[in-house]
Structure 1
Amino acid sequence: MRIGLKNWYKSGEPWVWLNAGAVAISIIMVVGLLTLIAIRGLGHFWPADVIQANYIVPGQESKVIAGEVVESEEVAVQRLLDAGLPVSAEQSEFLERQLIKVGNRDVYGSDFQWILPAFLQGPELPKNIMVVERREWGNFYGFLKEVREGDQAILVDKPLWDTFQQRIARAEGIHDAIYEIEKHQIGRINASLERLRLKERRLELESTLTNAAQAELQLERAELQQEYKQLEQRLGELYQQFNQDHFVAETVDGRQVTLSIGSVVRAYQPNAMSLLGKIAHYGDKVWEFVADDPREANTEGGIFPAIFGTVMMVILMSVIVTPFGVIAAVYLREYAHQGVVTRMIRIAVNNLAGVPSIVYGVFGLGFFVYFMGSAVDEAFFPEALPAPTLGTPGLLWASITLALLTLPVVIVATEEGLSRIPRSVREGSLALGATKAETLWRVVLPMASPAMMTGLILAVARAAGEVAPLMLVGVVKLAPSLPLDGNYPYLHLDQKFMHLGFHIYDVGFQSPNVEAARPLVYATALLLVVVIAILNLSAVAIRNHLREKYKALEV
């Protein structure tokens, strides 16, 4: 028996089972984590039923509450007794309490409330209670009483709810028109006026501002200002239409409020919705989360600018790091003398891969932003000074900083790929009359391209999730515009941008409304994982294609 057990250990089979168990546990943990994030994040968008009940706590004034049950937890009875609640500890040491989203922050002062279900009386699901998502002040829960145009109530034959939905759609169309004018058309004019100002300043610095040039600039400026006045007039008309519709609603405790329909994003009655209606609403909310801009201090709306900024930064980082990493690896493997200096360089490269990312951020801020950026401004953008152009954190410096951070990964992976190419392949190419450069370009690099893509995959995986260095070199809480738009020069490398990783940090730890922000932290984290997975899978697909393409060259 002992000999058999000894032979079993010598065969290595226990280590196979141990490795298999470790891999299985790792997979289970990863899948469990992603499942938890998905449930907590994606469940937020489902239109939950709204309960209405009398909340009667002995010794306190009774009140009527309505809202969505967000979460439940067990709390110690002693903790409730210390809080002055009249509960009994005879039956159990713990009691259930629920977090209710009651909304109406402008009425109640807070849109979340903890309650004890034991003190609820007569909970019901009224069909006509509505949830109104607003651009400010969060959700409103209550009953629709009246729809007004100006100071007059709208009297129509159709149901009041249909009239309300029609007016919301009308206000949403006006809001889109206002957004188009303010964001794009007026933005284009402002960008053109700024270019004219900088052009005039540059001519002054060069002492070439003639009367003819100044007259031409004044003519262009006058045309833009005339167009701006027309848009401003149109904008005033739209705002007048946008603000003329109102609705009167009543809270569950009998308070009546008058609100602008222009402040409404959507309104729905969850207790009266069918399953298909809830699925359609869910899809609409998920699409809003992916495709719209954030609002309410990033606790409502979408995160499209953060998605765009993350992808744009990773693409720029990849474009920068790949050629430099490949060139460095080719030099170290193919051209450099394999001596002490080369070994020290490799050791330094390997050590750079372990440097904390915040150190790269500090270096990027000091060297790229303050030193190189200021020098570039003085050399190429003197007309904009003292306002910085590239001498301030922005997309360019963030991409270069992350390229520097991931450069060791690309160098090491490319070197490993070059080292696996047989010497006979190089010698065969040279024997056929090719030069060393031709051999490198036409034979060696194509065979090593899968290894280059492996390095790029690892670089993308690390760079897309980094947050600490980006906080110093370009990422902000809320960017007013995307770094890529229709205004010249179209790609604005000097602009600050939003990032999914920083968005998670900001919403999770800097939000003024923690309870409202918590589900969005999970949803954004899930989306960040999806974005990184898509970027990595794209690189993996390219690597596999290159591997199949150059398989015939392998020996």
Structure 2
Amino acid sequence: MKQQNLKTWFKSGSPWVWFTGGGVSIAVIMTIGLLALIAVRGLGHFWPADVLEADYRIPGQEVRVLAGELVEAEEVPRARLAASGLPVDAAGGEFMTRELLKVGNRELYGADFSWVVGEWLESPRTPADLVAIERREWGNFYGYLLGVKENGRLVAEGEAAWAELQQRIERVAELHGQLAHLEKKDIGRINHGLERLRLKTRALELDGALDAAAQADLAAERAQWDAQYRELEGRLVALQQEFNRDSMLVRTTDGREQEISLGKVVRAYQPNAMGTFDKLGFYFAKLWEFVSDEPREANTEGGIFPAIFGTVLMTLIMAAIVTPFGVIAAVYLREYARQGPLTRVIRIAVNNLAGVPAIVYGVFGLGFFVYVLGGSIDRLFFPEAAPAPTFGTPGLMWASLTLAILTLPVVIVATEEGLARIPRALREGSLALGATKAETLWKVVIPMASPAMMTGLILAVARAAGEVAPLMLVGVVKLAPSLPLDGNYPYLHLDQKIMHLGFHIYDVGFQSPNVEAARPLVYATALLLVLVIALLNMSAVYIRNRLREKYKALEH
């Protein structure tokens, strides 16, 4: 009886419902767990950890004082430490503790991180006056503040030095913003104008139109640019002098004194003296810097805004290119093409293209888009720039086009499926009321199939935003702090190289000279890439749902 009930239960299909439900649950749990791991590892990097100071006593050597942030700790076999050359006593236990400290002070110690044996650290303490200094170059510096100088003259020391230091760091930060605006915006605009003037001169020369009148006009325009540049250069020199005016005198935990220009300092703080709310404020300030600032220190410090901007802009351009081409191809195959062997072969080819490795598309983009198409555009429209390439080199346009070709099969298949679901009666009713086939297609069929088109676009965006391999060949680089969208004509520079979050993860994780500093940034950037893709997809899903609600009545 039980066996018969079991057979009946299996025939009802209930076990497969449980199996599929369990599979979906496991997948959701694994996804949430992965995102939680990335979030904890990445977001925890921005919390201001306490700086530990301790006496490090290696057997047989002189005691030295170490200071740094505890990054991680692990137990390792005693024999392994002994094999690495450390004077480990073999009579102890089987395991010893090994701790990774972020000691900073790279110019003094040669590295930002150092592995130490936990059992050899004595008298651990967290002094409240120990200062962590975040610099624009050479990483963090840990030590004690002795005084503040202005043009080499000591202006504050002792307890008064800390308040004076904070005021002067705020002043330097404001000057840094003015310098950045002057160099990138104002002087960048002049350099762009001078380059356009040079190309204009070369174009007139190639056309044989560089006569005396044209030369006089060009000279007058060049004089205007030169006059503006001289004025800005004077302001730049004055700002740089003010920027490098102040410095701070600090002492390391091992007694060495160092003078640091405040022009190289981003912020100085005392993590051991900070309360919970102070640390929260610091944490969100670092998070904002991460998403809004430019990278520094080989992409291991600062922010990743150029990579965010490049990823979103390239994906939007890709979507604007792939959507019309994909929809037109799907409409032709479903509505106009004769359904025969040739059409079936084309559909098979489209489906097979979706499985081609992404790097193949990158090679195709480099060979056809960059060298053939871009080189032809340069010869036809930009001969004055030769031999320097304009579009005959990897850039934003070719990266977007390559991704459009890569995701085109997804849009075609999704759109075809949407067109196939439109009831035949709607088409026939529209034709019976006197509409032409084109009007029926444009006003009835395509609007009702628009949710399926948006589904194809969502899948295309999800794949394109995370691609890395083809982009390495057609326009994405390690560092491109200048955005491809600015105030200089033609405003959107499609020939410019860009940064990308996916490539940034690869570069920081596998090409960074400072592996320990880069590791948490890999997690943080990966989490941000997931959020960017989710935001793009949610925007497309919102539009799809609005369209679906709009045309739901027609479907029924």
Which TM-score band applies after superposition, normalised by the shorter structure? Answer: over 0.9
Q: 1:226 aligned to 2:237?
A: no
Q: Which residue of 1 aligns with 2:465?
A: 464
Deviations, residues 416-456 of structure 1 (Å, cap 9, x unaligned): 00000011100000000000000000000000000000000
- Counterpart residue type for residue 281 of structure 1: F
- Kindly state the Cα deviation for residue 203 of structure 1 after the two structures are TM-superposed: 1.4
**How far apart are the structure 2 equivalents of 1:378 and 1:147?**
59
Describe the SS at the equivalent of 2:259: strand
Match of 1:224, as an amino acid? W
Give, in whole Å, the separation in 1 of the partners of 2:65 and 2:185.
Answer: 46
Residue of structure 1 equivalent to 2:139: 138
Distance 1:351 1:194 in 2: 46
Indicate the residue corresponding to 1:319 in structure 2.
Answer: 320
Q: Distance in 1 between matches of 2:22 and 2:89?
A: 48
Contact 2:394 2:473 in 1 (8 A): yes
Aligned AA for 1:296? E
User: Could you tell me how far 1:89 is from its partner in structure 2?
Assistant: 5.9
Partner of 1:417: 418
Which secondary structure does the structure 2 equivalent of 1:492 belong to?
coil
Shift, 1:535, TM fit: 0.3
1:376-395 superposed matches below 5 A: 376-395=377-396
Which residue matches 2:537?
536
Compute the displacement of 1:207 (Å). 1.8
In the alignment, what sits opposite 1:69?
70
The correspondence of residues 337-416 of structure 1 with structure 2, limited to 5 A, is: 337-416=338-417
* Correspondence for 1:197: 198
Matched, 1:101 2:102: yes
Return the offset for 1:355.
0.1
**Pairing 1:111-126 to 2, within 5 Å after superposition:** 111-126=112-127
Secondary structure at 1:48's aligned position in 2?
coil
Aligned to 1:164: 165
Higher mean C-alpha deviation, range 374-383 or range 303-312: 374-383
Which whole-Å CA distance do the structure 2 matches of 1:458 and 1:429 have between them? 31
Task: Give me the whole-angstrom Cα distance separating, in 2, the residues matched to 1:374 and 1:183.
Answer: 29
Quote the Cα distance in structure 1 between the aligned partners of 2:296 and 2:427: 59
> Helix, strand or coil: the match of 2:142?
strand
Cα distance per residue 1:86-118 (max 9 Å; x no partner): 445666433221110000001111110111221
Equivalent residue, structure 2, for 1:153: 154
What is the letter of the counterpart of residue 201 of structure 1?
Answer: R
CA distance in 2, matches of 1:147, 1:337: 82
Shift of 1:157: 10
Tell whether the 8 Å contact from 2:306 to 2:481 is kept in structure 1 after alignment.
no
Structure 2 counterparts to residues 443-454 of structure 1, below 5 A:
443-454=444-455
- Give me the whole-angstrom Cα distance separating, in 2, the residues matched to 1:403 and 1:79: 52
Task: Give the equivalent residue in structure 1 for 2:271.
Answer: 270
CA–CA distance in structure 2, aligned partners of residues 416 and 460 of structure 1: 18
Q: Distance in 1 between matches of 2:269 and 2:204?
A: 58
> Residue type of the partner of 1:59?
G
Could you tell me which amino acid in structure 2 is paired with residue 128 of structure 1? Answer: D
TM-score by length of 2: 0.98
2:6 is aligned to 5
1:54-76 CA distance string (max 9 Å, x none): 01121233211001001112212
**Amino acid of the residue matched to residue 114 of structure 2?**
Q
**1:325-359 Cα deviation digits (max 9, x unpaired):** 00000000000000000000000000000000000
In structure 1, how many angstroms separate the alpha carbons of the residues matched to 2:30 and 2:96? 31
Query: Conserved in 1, the CA contact under 8 Å of 2:431 and 2:440?
Result: yes
Q: CA RMSD in A?
A: 1.2
Equivalent position amino acid for 1:520 in 2: L
Are 1:511 and 2:512 matched, yes or no? yes
> Structure 1 residues 123-132 or 208-217, which shifts more?
208-217
* Deviation of 1:262 (Å): 0.7
Question: Letter of the aligned partner of 1:18 in structure 2?
Answer: F
Q: Are 1:57 and 2:43 an aligned pair?
A: no
Is 1:212 matched up with 2:187? Answer: no
1:156 Cα shift? 8.1
The amino acid across from 2:298 in the alignment is A
Counterpart residue type for residue 448 of structure 1: A
Given the alignment of the two structures, is residue 547 of structure 1 paired with residue 548 of structure 2, yes or no?
yes
- For structure 1, the residue ranges without an aligned partner over 5 or more in a row are none
Residue by residue over 1:154-192, the C-alpha shift from the partner in whole angstroms, topping out at 9 and shown as x without a partner, is 048982100011111111111111111111100000000
Distance 2:355 2:16 in 1: 29
Amino acid at match of 2:372: F
- Number of equivalences: 555
Q: CA deviation at 1:553?
A: 1.2
Query: What CA distance in whole angstroms lies between the structure 1 residues aligned with 2:23 and 2:243?
Result: 61
Q: In the alignment, residue 431 of structure 2 is paired with which amino acid?
A: L
Correspondence for 2:176? 175
Partner of 1:110 in structure 2?
111
Q: Specify the alignment match of 1:336 in structure 2.
A: 337
User: What CA distance in whole angstroms lies between the structure 2 residues aligned with 1:99 and 1:335?
Assistant: 67
* CA–CA distance in structure 1, aligned partners of residues 519 and 158 of structure 2: 43
C-alpha separation between the residues in 2 aligned to 1:233 and 1:354? 58
2:36 matched residue in structure 1: 35
Q: TM-score, normalised by structure 1?
A: 0.99
Q: Counterparts of 1:91 and 1:140 in 2: how far apart (Å)?
A: 36
Structure 2: distance between partners of 1:217 and 1:550:
59
Q: 1:13 to 1:266 in 2, by over 3 A?
A: same
Aligned residue in 1 for 2:490: 489
Letter in 2 for 1:450: P
Please say if 1:476 is aligned against 2:510.
Answer: no
Which amino acid letter does the alignment assign opposite residue 223 of structure 1? Answer: Q
**Deviation string, structure 1 residues 111-130 (Cα, Å, up to 9, x no partner):** 10111221111100100001
Unaligned runs of 5+ in 2: none
Q: In 2, distance between residues paired with 1:37 and 1:90?
A: 41
